[in-house]
Structure 1
């Protein structure tokens, strides 16, 4: 089926049959990821019910982020979404792929855009500091899957929209928390919130530390965030977001298969020519500061504008086996979005127009690494990155319950690079190099139809564009690439979502085909330093599905009933992919038709959620990934992943002011030897980064409100 996805548009012809199963929706009081009939999403600026949104959007609420798993990271929650894959090669080293592989990202998050209530978190160089966020400070995540450049700019993977914790109106509350677990895991946090008629403020501090499962894999992280929203007048709202993260984690490095089988807890060993990771004290030291201001003005009930400005700074140091990199980033930018609603015409329409401008200034210096100490300077460089996007979108209500969305954006990416002379013998004079990619227009067209109150289907065509990130035009191997080209592609997609049996059964299915040109892939030299090349075309076909069934729901119980269970749900998340290279020649080898590494052909995540009226709750999650190739030649494959996780807790209010929540969580309960993040196309065949065997976490949260 995956080989014929362009024909999936004909799915529309069969959607009407599903309306026969639709039932009248029952209102729900749950803030739940799977309440398709009630939940409102912000993706593509529609602010509509998910059922009425002509796009594939994954949702995570606070229950998914902070209750289902005891591990205080984003990784397990993101991996419950079909089409989304988050890796953690070592504690703190995140990698994220949305509908694609992570072959562009040895570490970090690239080829996606991220926002916090319209504030851009992705910098002008295309990098997103996902590990600077603490999951305990988040209340909601939306993931838009597939190219979304018509409204959010460059990127072929997707877009992530973050939101903070909801503030109770007319109340103040304080929550303190603590957790501990295997391998020296310790954490604590405090949240202070106050909500009044004209303001809402949240102050959040979280600490996390771990010795790590592997040798040389310790982590220490402190996060603080301040989020405020103030209704200055009936028409004007001003918001502020302040973030600061101080993170240090050790990087143990990859192992060969033989080393992985002998001792998966080992860090990268020394060779005859290179020292070990531990000897060189390899790691990441990262301090990120971010301050953003948002101004929303409502002229009337039909016209409103949101304008944001931000500034950021990053202090980054990376002692590596072969060198010591020090980098300082200063970023700034803004975004303005105006919506005009015309609800009373013959075709009710909402227009969205706006622009986004980002700029980054980076100073990078490479030194020799002498046992974790910066030695003689090797390179002294500056990089300026600029991104600009102008966009417009129209959403039109058509007859016969159709809704048409048409969007278009113009994207411009520019780099300026200067290398300064050092005291090294034979150093060249300062040189300025520029790389200005030709501006591109990115259109998107989507058509949605509803079939009764509970079923909808959509088809869409969108174009994707992703310029090389700053870490790709200036890789760790050094120099500045003037030949690396942007990725371009076209995505065709069809989706069906809805509910049946009084909304107990819910489903969300999408199929897509994405033809990508000039695919960017990572390479490594003999010392392990990376560089990037274009690898011709790739064909990316996939199916994503999410199903759930509620055996017991709170909405099915009257106020006089006293059942023990208040929620009993089983859910499934399925991803099927067929990603293959086309026209890809590597040296003398023709790799055409090989699978793209890092993408599992099949991923299944299934779970069971239970909550009781006395306050007990339990979550069981099982994840399976079948083997996938680890290099372009497809000569090495990953191990199958079978991961079982469980959380058991008790949450109950005491009196009018206090709430207690205690929980215990188990990870990798089947005690599998596996890797949550492989090094793809690794030099020396060092593909393997072992994840912890069976381990446990316990925690407590105490909150008071007044």
Structure 2
């Protein structure tokens, strides 16, 4: 008996901490993957060897994270005392495995009857990491312009015509909350890339479920799952005084956790008077109070300041493209904006058939904008939320899904316009109390006629109202209250998706959209209030194909969008931008995205070699538009390039080295409604090389170097349309360089 106890004690450590084999292989080829980082809470990290194997000592099942530069990160439960096979999916997935949440319906992409593009976190980090511009511009049908650092304009299918500045006519969500303000504008420049993990973009009108906006919908998602304890930091430097640094920490708590990050980015800018300084802090907590509930709350604070150099005419552009518009420096043309968001989202699963998701937010903003012609100050407060019920059931033998919910936003703003005396606010010209209310209800019915054929019927009822109470008016006009209440608008959508086989499918849809004018379009900077400005309304017809054929992924769509009461811009004699309805426009287009992995073998020096191509053909024209005695009918739509082409090469090699190469061609485009002035076509080339790896178990690091505008092209990344005094051009930087380093530790 004593001998028995002796041997029991002797072998007890072996039984408690038996060595377990973990083998990591490619999901498609079944080839072993060397260099996979394996991490876990309370676990000393390891890296797989040349045979894709790691030996791990532990006593009971443990959840571990597996990551590799060429594969999607994966978490998996590992069981002791046996060989565990872990399958990693390549970053290039076939479309049959991709699931998206577009149109509030979590379904595979092949079952989505609509144009949806995804921007993955890895795609955001193919470039300099200072903005979303380059990554978004690699997608067909999408155009992000940066007229000056931090001054964004987004065009989805040519929707930026009415956006001389800012983001309009596109609905934006961040972690399920409406990030677009109640007045229809979106402060996209408040977000840093660290606040975004992945993005879905719905192209074309999606008002049946997302409310106002003819351009489309952008849904940003930040990190929502804390699966490790981690500290990380980044540093990025570049030409024109660019410095960006970030600190972040993640702490897992039970099945949730908290995370915090701080980012500070500043630069002097390529042009005179184009400096930017942005500080962003985000604090998030994710919890799971019970098996049926998920709860997330976030605080986002952004302090942004940037200078506005202004547009140049052709003579000024030729003399010195780096100069500011005369008057911009003396008048300190710039924007200072401080904004605080608080959000709360809750998911409750009533049963396997019924679920509710609700998100609420509150926001306060201080905004100050000295400009050449005036000086604007605003203090805004808004709140709102969105709720959605989803029920999965059957009618007879046919599966159905019913989605119903609503969204409400309220905003109140004290807006004051002053004279501008050498960059300082002078006498008040006019002051308004602005109240904006936007609300809509939405319903969607999905019916699976078979496991290959899905039909979707949806519609929304939309309500909007503006109240403009003028309390001060220094002109001859008496202060007055103005109100504009838009008639309730019902917006329908019908969509069909048919899977030809497991790897391909076709889809078609007819959808309506509408977009009321924003307060910035109704209440202009010279003091006029244009209550006669009508909402844009349109109908979109769309037909597309998606499929995976061997190594090729193909996504192609054709559309025709008939838009009525199109809102366009013009300038008065003082150069103030005003707005008008421009009759009808016909917007025909084709968008195609193709990617393929020419080579993938984790056992060779080159792990994988991927090519991507995106073509956009937007053939838009004014169908019926006359202004000031001029007939522009038949002219090309202002500010829209007929053809763009993007080519990308991504190479990942052994030991963590990588190369990204991007070429972008943009066709010439008209800068005024008369089509008498054009921006020339141009080619942009950029590249980034780097090394990314995990070492010593728990450490990971990356070093990178990149160049933008390698060909040293002269171009404008965003022009002023229908510009007063022919000031159309906002010159973008010539060839410039950047580099950075990242370091992280998991514990």
Same fold? TM cut 0.5: yes
2:208 corresponds to: 150
Deviations 1:654-691 (A, max 9, x none): 11110010000100000111111101111010000111
Residue 101 (structure 1) shift = 3.8
Does the residue aligned with 2:328 lie in a helix, a strand or coil?
Answer: coil
1:419 corresponds to: 470
Number of corresponding residues: 665
1:639 corresponds to: 680
Deviations 1:442-491 (A, max 9, x none): 10000000011100110000001101112111122322211000000100
Looking at structure 2, the residues matched to 591 and 186 of structure 1 have their Cα atoms a distance apart, in angstroms, of: 46
Q: What pairs with 1:286-685 in structure 2 (closer than 5 Å)? A: 286-342=337-393, 345-399=396-450, 401-422=452-473, 424=474, 426=476, 428=478, 430-501=479-550, 504-553=551-600, 557=601, 562-685=603-726
1:40 partnered with 2:99:
yes
Looking at structure 1, the residues matched to 417 and 482 of structure 2 have their Cα atoms a distance apart, in angstroms, of: 19
1:61 partnered with 2:117:
no
Q: Determine if contact 1:126/1:469 at 8 Å carries over to the other structure.
A: yes
TM-score by length of 2: 0.87
**Judging changes above 3 Å, is the alpha-carbon distance between structure 1 residues 54 and 426 closer, same or farther for their aligned structure 2 residues?**
closer
Q: Determine if contact 2:341/2:362 at 8 Å carries over to the other structure.
A: yes
Residue 337 (structure 1) shift = 0.2
In structure 2, stretches of 5+ residues that fail to align are 1-26, 31-70, 72-87
Deviations 1:26-68 (A, max 9, x none): 79735747642222111112111112211110001111012x1
Looking at structure 2, the residues matched to 411 and 468 of structure 1 have their Cα atoms a distance apart, in angstroms, of: 14
Q: Determine if contact 2:159/2:215 at 8 Å carries over to the other structure.
A: no
1:210 partnered with 2:258:
no
Residue 25 (structure 1) shift = 7.5
**Judging changes above 3 Å, is the alpha-carbon distance between structure 1 residues 89 and 470 closer, same or farther for their aligned structure 2 residues?**
same
Does the residue aligned with 1:348 lie in a helix, a strand or coil?
Answer: strand
Looking at structure 1, the residues matched to 94 and 124 of structure 2 have their Cα atoms a distance apart, in angstroms, of: 16
**Which of 185, 193, 207 lines up with 1:135 in the alignment?**
193
Looking at structure 2, the residues matched to 530 and 481 of structure 1 have their Cα atoms a distance apart, in angstroms, of: 13
Looking at structure 1, the residues matched to 264 and 508 of structure 2 have their Cα atoms a distance apart, in angstroms, of: 44
Deviations 1:402-428 (A, max 9, x none): 100110100011111111135x47451
Deviations 1:301-349 (A, max 9, x none): 1101011211111111110101100011111111110000015841101
Deviations 1:100-133 (A, max 9, x none): 2422111111111111232111111111111011
**Which of 136, 141, 151 lines up with 1:83 in the alignment?**
141
1:98 partnered with 2:149:
no
Does the residue aligned with 1:180 lie in a helix, a strand or coil?
Answer: strand
Does the residue aligned with 1:674 lie in a helix, a strand or coil?
Answer: coil
Q: Determine if contact 1:88/1:677 at 8 Å carries over to the other structure.
A: yes
**Judging changes above 3 Å, is the alpha-carbon distance between structure 1 residues 32 and 359 closer, same or farther for their aligned structure 2 residues?**
farther
Looking at structure 2, the residues matched to 590 and 33 of structure 1 have their Cα atoms a distance apart, in angstroms, of: 49
TM-score by length of 1: 0.92
Q: CA RMSD in A?
A: 1.6
Looking at structure 2, the residues matched to 248 and 550 of structure 1 have their Cα atoms a distance apart, in angstroms, of: 42
Looking at structure 2, the residues matched to 166 and 663 of structure 1 have their Cα atoms a distance apart, in angstroms, of: 27
Deviations 1:287-308 (A, max 9, x none): 1111111111110111010112
Deviations 1:354-400 (A, max 9, x none): 01111111111011101110011110111111111001001111137
**Judging changes above 3 Å, is the alpha-carbon distance between structure 1 residues 284 and 35 closer, same or farther for their aligned structure 2 residues?**
farther
Looking at structure 1, the residues matched to 704 and 718 of structure 2 have their Cα atoms a distance apart, in angstroms, of: 27
Q: Determine if contact 1:217/1:249 at 8 Å carries over to the other structure.
A: yes
**Judging changes above 3 Å, is the alpha-carbon distance between structure 1 residues 427 and 465 closer, same or farther for their aligned structure 2 residues?**
closer
Looking at structure 2, the residues matched to 495 and 160 of structure 1 have their Cα atoms a distance apart, in angstroms, of: 20
1:267 partnered with 2:324:
yes
Deviations 1:245-269 (A, max 9, x none): 1111100000001111121101102
Looking at structure 1, the residues matched to 193 and 457 of structure 2 have their Cα atoms a distance apart, in angstroms, of: 34
Residue 166 (structure 1) shift = 5.7
Residue 236 (structure 1) shift = 1.3
Does the residue aligned with 1:243 lie in a helix, a strand or coil?
Answer: strand
Does the residue aligned with 2:526 lie in a helix, a strand or coil?
Answer: coil
Q: Determine if contact 2:429/2:472 at 8 Å carries over to the other structure.
A: no
Looking at structure 2, the residues matched to 375 and 150 of structure 1 have their Cα atoms a distance apart, in angstroms, of: 46
Q: Determine if contact 1:477/1:525 at 8 Å carries over to the other structure.
A: no
Does the residue aligned with 2:680 lie in a helix, a strand or coil?
Answer: coil
Structure with the bigger percentage of strand: 2
Looking at structure 1, the residues matched to 687 and 104 of structure 2 have their Cα atoms a distance apart, in angstroms, of: 36
Rg (Cα) greater in structure:
2
2:16 corresponds to: none
Residue 623 (structure 1) shift = 0.4
**Judging changes above 3 Å, is the alpha-carbon distance between structure 1 residues 451 and 260 closer, same or farther for their aligned structure 2 residues?**
same
Residue 614 (structure 1) shift = 0.7
Q: Determine if contact 2:417/2:525 at 8 Å carries over to the other structure.
A: no
Looking at structure 2, the residues matched to 677 and 32 of structure 1 have their Cα atoms a distance apart, in angstroms, of: 32
Q: Determine if contact 2:337/2:367 at 8 Å carries over to the other structure.
A: yes
Identify which of structures 1 and 2 has the higher relative contact order when contacts are C-alpha pairs closer than 8 Å and 6+ apart: 1
In structure 1, stretches of 5+ residues that fail to align are 1-23, 270-275
1:124 partnered with 2:171:
no
Looking at structure 2, the residues matched to 299 and 694 of structure 1 have their Cα atoms a distance apart, in angstroms, of: 56
